[in-house]
Amino acid sequence: MIRLIAFLLLCVSTSAKAVDAGSGVEPATYPINFDVPETSPLEFRGGLVVRPPFQGFGGLSGLSLINSRSAVLVSDRGAWVEMDVQIENGRLIGLSNLRMQPILNAEGAPVDEGAQDSEDLTWDPRSGAFWISFEGDHRIWRVPGVGGLPSETIRHPAWETFSSNTGIEALARDDLGRLWAVREASSDYARPFPVFIWDGRGFNEKLLPRLSKHMVTGADFGPDGWLYITERKFSFTSGFEIRLRRLKYGDGKEPIADETLLEMPAASNIDNIESIDVWRENEETLILIASDDNLFLLQRNVFALFAIKD
Protein backbone atom coordinates (compact mmCIF):
# COMPACT_ATOMS: atom_id res chain seq x y z
CA MET A 1 0.00 0.00 0.00
CA ILE A 2 2.86 2.40 0.78
CA ARG A 3 4.33 1.85 -2.68
CA LEU A 4 0.92 2.36 -4.28
CA ILE A 5 0.40 5.66 -2.47
CA ALA A 6 3.91 6.76 -3.38
CA PHE A 7 3.37 5.98 -7.04
CA LEU A 8 0.06 7.82 -7.16
CA LEU A 9 1.68 10.85 -5.59
CA LEU A 10 4.55 10.56 -8.05
CA CYS A 11 2.13 10.79 -10.96
CA VAL A 12 0.75 14.10 -9.70
CA SER A 13 2.42 17.03 -11.44
CA THR A 14 4.84 18.79 -9.12
CA SER A 15 4.76 22.53 -8.63
CA ALA A 16 8.55 22.80 -8.32
CA LYS A 17 9.99 25.19 -10.88
CA ALA A 18 13.36 25.12 -12.61
CA VAL A 19 15.59 27.67 -10.89
CA ASP A 20 18.59 29.53 -12.21
CA ALA A 21 21.72 28.34 -10.41
CA GLY A 22 24.20 29.26 -13.10
CA SER A 23 27.03 30.15 -10.71
CA GLY A 24 27.47 26.55 -9.61
CA VAL A 25 27.09 24.77 -6.27
CA GLU A 26 28.82 21.77 -4.73
CA PRO A 27 26.18 19.06 -4.31
CA ALA A 28 26.19 16.69 -1.36
CA THR A 29 26.63 13.09 -2.51
CA TYR A 30 26.93 9.70 -0.89
CA PRO A 31 28.16 6.42 -2.39
CA ILE A 32 25.89 3.59 -3.40
CA ASN A 33 26.85 0.07 -4.41
CA PHE A 34 25.22 -2.34 -6.87
CA ASP A 35 25.88 -6.04 -7.24
CA VAL A 36 26.31 -7.06 -10.87
CA PRO A 37 25.72 -10.74 -11.73
CA GLU A 38 28.86 -12.60 -12.77
CA THR A 39 27.15 -13.53 -16.02
CA SER A 40 26.89 -9.86 -17.02
CA PRO A 41 29.55 -8.45 -19.38
CA LEU A 42 29.53 -5.30 -17.23
CA GLU A 43 31.68 -4.41 -14.23
CA PHE A 44 30.40 -1.91 -11.66
CA ARG A 45 32.75 1.08 -11.27
CA GLY A 46 31.08 3.21 -8.64
CA GLY A 47 27.78 4.89 -7.84
CA LEU A 48 26.70 8.15 -6.23
CA VAL A 49 23.41 9.60 -5.02
CA VAL A 50 23.05 13.39 -5.37
CA ARG A 51 21.03 15.15 -2.71
CA PRO A 52 19.00 18.02 -4.25
CA PRO A 53 20.96 21.21 -3.43
CA PHE A 54 17.99 23.50 -4.09
CA GLN A 55 14.29 23.40 -4.90
CA GLY A 56 13.56 22.26 -8.43
CA PHE A 57 16.64 20.08 -8.85
CA GLY A 58 15.89 16.58 -10.14
CA GLY A 59 13.81 14.90 -12.81
CA LEU A 60 16.99 14.18 -14.79
CA SER A 61 15.94 12.56 -18.06
CA GLY A 62 18.79 12.96 -20.53
CA LEU A 63 22.60 12.86 -20.38
CA SER A 64 25.50 13.78 -22.64
CA LEU A 65 29.16 13.86 -21.61
CA ILE A 66 31.43 16.51 -23.10
CA ASN A 67 35.04 15.32 -23.27
CA SER A 68 34.09 12.54 -20.78
CA ARG A 69 34.19 14.84 -17.74
CA SER A 70 31.52 17.54 -18.18
CA ALA A 71 27.96 16.23 -17.96
CA VAL A 72 25.05 18.06 -19.56
CA LEU A 73 21.55 16.86 -18.67
CA VAL A 74 17.96 18.00 -19.11
CA SER A 75 15.20 17.71 -16.54
CA ASP A 76 11.50 16.95 -16.79
CA ARG A 77 10.74 20.54 -15.83
CA GLY A 78 12.48 22.22 -18.73
CA ALA A 79 15.95 22.89 -17.33
CA TRP A 80 19.57 22.46 -18.33
CA VAL A 81 21.68 20.79 -15.66
CA GLU A 82 25.48 20.78 -15.84
CA MET A 83 28.02 19.18 -13.53
CA ASP A 84 31.60 17.98 -13.54
CA VAL A 85 32.13 14.22 -13.35
CA GLN A 86 35.15 13.01 -11.40
CA ILE A 87 36.50 9.66 -12.59
CA GLU A 88 39.83 8.35 -11.34
CA ASN A 89 41.42 5.05 -12.30
CA GLY A 90 38.24 4.14 -14.13
CA ARG A 91 35.98 4.69 -11.10
CA LEU A 92 33.28 7.29 -10.42
CA ILE A 93 34.33 9.16 -7.28
CA GLY A 94 32.56 12.52 -7.35
CA LEU A 95 30.21 15.06 -8.93
CA SER A 96 30.82 18.79 -8.55
CA ASN A 97 30.19 22.33 -9.82
CA LEU A 98 26.48 21.79 -10.40
CA ARG A 99 24.73 24.47 -12.49
CA MET A 100 21.13 24.77 -13.61
CA GLN A 101 19.22 27.14 -15.88
CA PRO A 102 15.91 27.11 -17.80
CA ILE A 103 15.62 25.82 -21.34
CA LEU A 104 14.53 28.78 -23.45
CA ASN A 105 12.06 28.93 -26.33
CA ALA A 106 12.61 30.82 -29.57
CA GLU A 107 11.51 34.08 -27.91
CA GLY A 108 14.11 33.72 -25.16
CA ALA A 109 11.62 32.85 -22.41
CA PRO A 110 11.60 29.64 -20.34
CA VAL A 111 9.59 26.89 -22.02
CA ASP A 112 6.01 26.99 -20.80
CA GLU A 113 4.19 24.45 -18.62
CA GLY A 114 2.57 22.62 -21.51
CA ALA A 115 5.76 22.17 -23.51
CA GLN A 116 8.59 21.69 -21.03
CA ASP A 117 8.77 17.90 -20.51
CA SER A 118 12.28 17.51 -21.90
CA GLU A 119 13.11 13.79 -22.00
CA ASP A 120 16.49 13.22 -23.63
CA LEU A 121 19.33 14.99 -25.40
CA THR A 122 22.28 14.18 -27.61
CA TRP A 123 25.34 16.23 -28.48
CA ASP A 124 27.04 16.93 -31.82
CA PRO A 125 30.79 17.30 -31.11
CA ARG A 126 31.41 18.86 -34.53
CA SER A 127 29.10 21.84 -34.06
CA GLY A 128 28.68 21.83 -30.28
CA ALA A 129 24.89 21.79 -30.73
CA PHE A 130 22.43 19.74 -28.69
CA TRP A 131 19.24 18.03 -29.80
CA ILE A 132 16.49 17.76 -27.16
CA SER A 133 13.35 15.62 -27.34
CA PHE A 134 10.14 16.74 -25.65
CA GLU A 135 6.94 14.98 -24.61
CA GLY A 136 3.51 16.58 -24.43
CA ASP A 137 4.14 18.86 -27.38
CA HIS A 138 6.06 16.09 -29.15
CA ARG A 139 9.07 17.51 -30.99
CA ILE A 140 12.85 17.69 -31.17
CA TRP A 141 14.75 20.96 -30.88
CA ARG A 142 18.22 21.79 -32.12
CA VAL A 143 19.91 24.19 -29.71
CA PRO A 144 23.36 25.71 -30.53
CA GLY A 145 24.60 25.28 -26.94
CA VAL A 146 23.56 25.24 -23.30
CA GLY A 147 21.29 28.22 -22.65
CA GLY A 148 20.84 28.96 -26.36
CA LEU A 149 17.65 29.46 -28.32
CA PRO A 150 16.28 26.66 -30.51
CA SER A 151 17.34 27.02 -34.14
CA GLU A 152 15.35 24.11 -35.60
CA THR A 153 12.26 22.09 -34.71
CA ILE A 154 11.63 18.54 -35.95
CA ARG A 155 8.18 16.97 -35.96
CA HIS A 156 6.67 13.82 -37.44
CA PRO A 157 2.95 13.34 -38.28
CA ALA A 158 2.80 10.11 -36.25
CA TRP A 159 3.91 11.94 -33.12
CA GLU A 160 0.66 13.92 -33.10
CA THR A 161 -1.17 10.68 -32.21
CA PHE A 162 1.03 9.96 -29.17
CA SER A 163 -0.42 10.44 -25.71
CA SER A 164 1.18 13.16 -23.59
CA ASN A 165 3.36 10.72 -21.64
CA THR A 166 4.39 8.17 -24.32
CA GLY A 167 6.41 10.22 -26.73
CA ILE A 168 10.07 10.35 -27.80
CA GLU A 169 11.71 9.19 -24.59
CA ALA A 170 15.15 8.30 -26.01
CA LEU A 171 17.33 10.20 -28.46
CA ALA A 172 20.73 9.27 -29.90
CA ARG A 173 23.02 10.47 -32.68
CA ASP A 174 24.94 8.00 -34.84
CA ASP A 175 28.34 8.49 -36.50
CA LEU A 176 26.64 9.66 -39.71
CA GLY A 177 24.95 12.49 -37.80
CA ARG A 178 21.47 10.97 -37.96
CA LEU A 179 19.10 11.29 -35.02
CA TRP A 180 17.50 8.09 -33.70
CA ALA A 181 14.31 8.92 -31.78
CA VAL A 182 12.72 6.03 -29.87
CA ARG A 183 9.19 6.08 -28.55
CA GLU A 184 8.79 5.11 -24.89
CA ALA A 185 5.95 2.65 -25.47
CA SER A 186 4.49 0.31 -28.05
CA SER A 187 0.86 -0.67 -28.42
CA ASP A 188 1.34 -4.08 -26.79
CA TYR A 189 4.11 -6.14 -25.18
CA ALA A 190 4.77 -8.16 -28.35
CA ARG A 191 5.03 -5.13 -30.66
CA PRO A 192 8.45 -3.48 -31.29
CA PHE A 193 9.18 0.11 -30.30
CA PRO A 194 9.14 2.45 -33.31
CA VAL A 195 12.42 4.21 -34.08
CA PHE A 196 12.30 7.41 -36.17
CA ILE A 197 15.59 8.27 -37.90
CA TRP A 198 16.06 11.86 -39.05
CA ASP A 199 18.85 12.44 -41.61
CA GLY A 200 18.38 16.19 -41.96
CA ARG A 201 15.97 15.90 -44.89
CA GLY A 202 13.41 13.32 -43.90
CA PHE A 203 12.61 10.25 -41.81
CA ASN A 204 13.34 6.56 -42.13
CA GLU A 205 12.05 4.08 -39.60
CA LYS A 206 13.43 1.01 -37.86
CA LEU A 207 12.13 -1.28 -35.15
CA LEU A 208 13.47 -1.99 -31.68
CA PRO A 209 12.25 -5.39 -30.40
CA ARG A 210 10.32 -5.32 -27.13
CA LEU A 211 11.36 -8.13 -24.79
CA SER A 212 8.86 -7.70 -21.96
CA LYS A 213 6.91 -5.02 -20.11
CA HIS A 214 10.05 -2.89 -19.91
CA MET A 215 9.82 0.50 -21.66
CA VAL A 216 12.65 2.41 -23.34
CA THR A 217 13.96 5.38 -21.33
CA GLY A 218 17.33 6.42 -22.77
CA ALA A 219 19.73 5.79 -25.67
CA ASP A 220 23.25 6.50 -26.87
CA PHE A 221 25.51 5.23 -29.62
CA GLY A 222 28.77 3.82 -28.34
CA PRO A 223 32.13 4.19 -30.12
CA ASP A 224 31.67 0.58 -31.27
CA GLY A 225 28.62 1.54 -33.38
CA TRP A 226 26.12 -0.27 -31.16
CA LEU A 227 22.95 1.46 -29.96
CA TYR A 228 22.86 1.26 -26.16
CA ILE A 229 19.50 1.66 -24.43
CA THR A 230 18.13 1.75 -20.91
CA GLU A 231 14.74 0.22 -20.16
CA ARG A 232 12.46 0.43 -17.14
CA LYS A 233 9.59 -1.56 -15.71
CA PHE A 234 7.51 -0.40 -12.73
CA SER A 235 5.47 -2.64 -10.46
CA PHE A 236 3.09 -1.48 -7.73
CA THR A 237 4.27 -4.33 -5.52
CA SER A 238 8.04 -4.15 -6.02
CA GLY A 239 9.14 -0.88 -7.61
CA PHE A 240 11.53 -0.16 -10.50
CA GLU A 241 13.42 -2.77 -12.52
CA ILE A 242 15.92 -1.78 -15.20
CA ARG A 243 17.64 -3.37 -18.17
CA LEU A 244 20.63 -2.28 -20.27
CA ARG A 245 20.77 -3.55 -23.86
CA ARG A 246 22.82 -2.88 -26.96
CA LEU A 247 21.73 -3.45 -30.54
CA LYS A 248 23.49 -3.45 -33.89
CA TYR A 249 21.58 -2.43 -37.01
CA GLY A 250 22.26 -3.07 -40.69
CA ASP A 251 20.29 -1.96 -43.73
CA GLY A 252 17.03 -3.59 -42.64
CA LYS A 253 14.47 -2.42 -40.11
CA GLU A 254 15.24 -5.13 -37.55
CA PRO A 255 18.53 -5.26 -35.60
CA ILE A 256 21.09 -7.85 -36.70
CA ALA A 257 22.28 -8.29 -33.09
CA ASP A 258 20.60 -7.69 -29.74
CA GLU A 259 22.41 -8.25 -26.44
CA THR A 260 21.23 -7.77 -22.86
CA LEU A 261 24.11 -6.38 -20.80
CA LEU A 262 22.49 -6.07 -17.40
CA GLU A 263 19.18 -6.67 -15.65
CA MET A 264 18.65 -5.27 -12.17
CA PRO A 265 15.58 -6.18 -10.12
CA ALA A 266 13.71 -3.78 -7.87
CA ALA A 267 15.52 -5.31 -4.88
CA SER A 268 18.75 -3.74 -6.17
CA ASN A 269 17.30 -0.31 -5.28
CA ILE A 270 18.57 1.08 -8.60
CA ASP A 271 15.68 3.57 -8.97
CA ASN A 272 14.21 5.06 -12.17
CA ILE A 273 17.09 5.01 -14.68
CA GLU A 274 16.39 7.25 -17.69
CA SER A 275 19.78 8.42 -19.00
CA ILE A 276 22.85 6.83 -20.55
CA ASP A 277 26.16 7.91 -22.10
CA VAL A 278 28.75 5.55 -23.58
CA TRP A 279 32.38 6.38 -24.45
CA ARG A 280 35.85 4.93 -24.84
CA GLU A 281 38.63 5.77 -22.37
CA ASN A 282 41.98 4.13 -21.58
CA GLU A 283 41.24 1.22 -23.92
CA GLU A 284 37.91 0.32 -22.32
CA THR A 285 34.27 1.19 -22.91
CA LEU A 286 32.56 3.04 -20.05
CA ILE A 287 28.82 3.48 -19.48
CA LEU A 288 27.35 6.16 -17.22
CA ILE A 289 23.67 5.98 -16.30
CA ALA A 290 21.51 8.36 -14.25
CA SER A 291 18.06 8.20 -12.67
CA ASP A 292 15.03 10.47 -12.78
CA ASP A 293 13.66 11.09 -9.27
CA ASN A 294 10.52 12.75 -10.70
CA LEU A 295 11.15 15.54 -8.16
CA PHE A 296 9.63 13.16 -5.63
CA LEU A 297 10.82 12.87 -2.05
CA LEU A 298 10.95 9.06 -1.93
CA GLN A 299 13.11 8.71 -5.05
CA ARG A 300 16.76 9.57 -5.65
CA ASN A 301 19.15 11.03 -8.21
CA VAL A 302 21.47 8.07 -8.84
CA PHE A 303 24.59 8.04 -11.02
CA ALA A 304 26.35 4.73 -11.73
CA LEU A 305 29.41 3.90 -13.82
CA PHE A 306 30.05 0.55 -15.53
CA ALA A 307 32.77 -0.84 -17.79
CA ILE A 308 32.40 -3.53 -20.42
CA LYS A 309 34.65 -6.42 -19.38
CA ASP A 310 35.65 -7.36 -22.91
Question: What string of DSSP letters covers 94-119?
Answer: EEEEEEEEEPB-TTSSBPPGGG-EEE
Which region among 34-38, 47-51, 187-191, 297-301 has the lowest average model confidence (pLDDT)? 187-191
**pLDDT surpassing 90 at residue 14:** no
- Confidence band of 3 (pLDDT split at 50, 70, 90): very low
Whole-number Cα distances in Å, 104 to 128, 130, 140, 144, 240: 17, 13, 14, 12, 32
Average pLDDT over all residues of the chain: 90
Each residue's pLDDT tens digit, 15-60: 444 455 667 899 999 999 999 999 999 999 999 999 999 888 999 9
Which region among 171-180, 208-217, 246-255 has the lowest average model confidence (pLDDT)? 208-217
Look at residue 185 in the predicted model and tell me its pLDDT. 82
Look at residue 21 in the predicted model and tell me its pLDDT. 62
Q: How far apart are CA 121 and CA 169, in angstroms?
A: 10
Each residue's pLDDT tens digit, 256-273: 999 999 999 888 888 899
**pLDDT surpassing 70 at residue 10:** no
Q: Closest Cα to residue 184, out of 274, 103, 111? A: 274
Each residue's pLDDT tens digit, 200-245: 999 999 999 999 889 999 999 999 999 999 999 988 778 899 999 9
Each residue's pLDDT tens digit, 126-140: 999 999 999 989 999
Q: For 176, phi and psi rounded to 5 degrees? A: -95, 0
**In this prediction, what percent of the chain has a pLDDT beyond 70?**
92
Q: How far apart are CA 143 and CA 153, in angstroms?
A: 9
